[in-house]
Amino acid sequence: MPGRNFLFVPGPTNVPDRIQRSMMVPMEDHRSPRFPQLTQPLFPALKRVFGCREGEVFIFPSSGTGAWEASLANTLSRGDRVLAPRFGQFSHLWIDMMQRLGLRVDVLETEWGLGAQEDRIADALRRDTEHAIKAVMVVHNETATGVTSDIGAVRRVMDDLGHPALLFVDAVSSLGSIDFRFTDWGVDLAITGSQKGLMLPAGLGIVCVSPRAREAEKTADLARAFFSFADMRKSNADGYFPYTPALPLLYGLRESLAMLEEEGLPQVYARHARLAAGVREAVCAWGLATCSRATRWHSNTVTAVAVPATVDATRIIDIAYRRYDLSLGAGLSKLSGRVFRIGHLGDLNEVMLLGALGGVEMAMADAGVDFAAGSGVAAAQRFWRGAHRPALVVPETLAA
């Protein structure tokens, strides 16, 4: 099919040409004296993206799932109790992994469409007078439902109760797109993958670790080998890795971090907020609802759109792909057929999103959804034209 495939799944996201080019490198010796020049600046730059002032970052050659495993295996022991709200497929999968690794998970079953409810976390911690719960695990942005939780608020209830549990956060579909403040929010362990806000292919699992989590490592007895923080720490100190790193991805990561710094993290977050708000205007104009149930939960990186009961969302996704070369996210697990998801994160602007919204409208019309064709695109345009957008900076050599 001519033209580009429109990739609007919530990860992997579009890889900017500049990052693609940066990864076109010959293979090299990852034990050479020159190699640390590439790797050493990556760690402080990643810490800045996490908002981490005190702590350390590890980069594993894995996907986000590997980073989940690394976070658990290095800091917890078999039989440890942890508390985790389940409100979507990714919180579910993380809980499943915790259970498979031998942790005892107090699951807070939560309606899909809501986020982590601080009052319920507080109740559970209040009942834990013995402080048996070792960690609270929250998915910051539940990619399955398009819901963002308030991590700072979760930390506040933990502090108010004086509960010593560690706070683990999955920031896979938020980091580099939605404001994240590791140190200010008192996060002890945050994880992400490379294929979302960092605009890279999948292949890097990144973990940010607080000094308290590092302390927990000393007594944690879960088995770890490939994902050992200690092995990483030892090699990383000199800019090396304990095994062969994913070399082109590290070059890509350097470029990605440079791009985020050039745009400025506050601007990156504002752009994602603006784009997401325009998408929600479109959904509203179509007469449809988001899976996210309230303004406080709306995600700035992904919108799950609920379709009328008479329509199968899978058909909309299939038509979008086959007829219009537009990739949309599917409804996962119990949301299958009930929602389609529009990913709006990474290297993206308004005009690209208008193309996607137009494609969604064509696919919905073909699938028999009853809505006013053009209404969503018009609503998003109205919103974005009114919203403040920083002007494009034209390089002086071109402007002259």
Q: Which of 143, 249, 149 is nearest to 202 (CA)?
A: 249
CA separation for the pair 177, 299 (Å, rounded): 10
Under rule CB under 6 A, residue 52 binds ligand PLP:
no
- Helices 350-366 & 265-285 angle (0-180, nearest 10): 30
Q: Where are the alpha helices (DSSP H) in 74-117?
A: 89-100
Task: Please give the single-letter amino acid code of residue 346.
Answer: G
Q: Minimum Å distance from CB 203 to ligand PLP?
A: 9
Q: Where are the alpha helices (DSSP H) in 239-312?
A: 247-263, 265-285
Name the residue nearer to ligand PLP (CB basis): 55 or 193: 193
Under rule CB under 6 A, residue 327 binds ligand PLP:
no
Under rule CB under 6 A, residue 361 binds ligand PLP:
no
Under rule CB under 6 A, residue 143 binds ligand PLP:
yes
Under rule CB under 6 A, residue 63 binds ligand PLP:
yes
Distance set, CA 263 to CA 82, 171, 177, 187, 345 (Å): 38, 20, 12, 25, 14
Span interacting with ligand PLP, options 41-49, 167-175, 206-214, 228-236, rule CB under 6 A? 167-175
Element housing 144 (H / E)? none
Under rule CB under 6 A, residue 170 binds ligand PLP:
yes
Under rule CB under 6 A, residue 19 binds ligand PLP:
no
Residues 6+ apart with CB under 8 A from 33: none
Q: Minimum Å distance from CB 272 to ligand PLP?
A: 15
Name the residue nearer to ligand PLP (CB basis): 163 or 292: 292
Q: Minimum Å distance from CB 143 to ligand PLP?
A: 3
**In the complex, residue closest to ligand PLP by CB:** 64
Name the residue nearer to ligand PLP (CB basis): 147 or 257: 147
CA separation for the pair 36, 300 (Å, rounded): 35
Among 193, 197, 248, 331, binds ligand PLP (CB under 6 A): 193
Span interacting with ligand PLP, options 60-68, 226-234, 266-274, 317-325, rule CB under 6 A? 60-68
Name the residue nearer to ligand PLP (CB basis): 107 or 202: 202
Under rule CB under 6 A, residue 64 binds ligand PLP:
yes
Q: Output DSSP code: residue 203.
A: -
Among 173, 177, 292, 327, binds ligand PLP (CB under 6 A): 173
DSSP result, 39-76: HTTHHHHHHHHHT-SSSEEEEESS-HHHHHHHHHHTT-
Q: Which of 116, 122, 118 is nearest to 87 (CA)?
A: 116
Q: Minimum Å distance from CB 44 to ligand PLP?
A: 24
Q: Minimum Å distance from CB 10 to ligand PLP?
A: 7
Query: Considering CB under 6 A, how many residues would be counted as binding ligand PLP?
Result: 12
Under rule CB under 6 A, residue 97 binds ligand PLP:
no
Greatest distance between any 2 Cα atoms in the chain: 70
Among 7, 11, 155, 364, binds ligand PLP (CB under 6 A): 11
Q: Output DSSP code: residue 114.
A: B
Residues that bind ligand PLP (CB under 6 A): 11, 63-65, 90, 139, 143, 170, 172-173, 193, 202
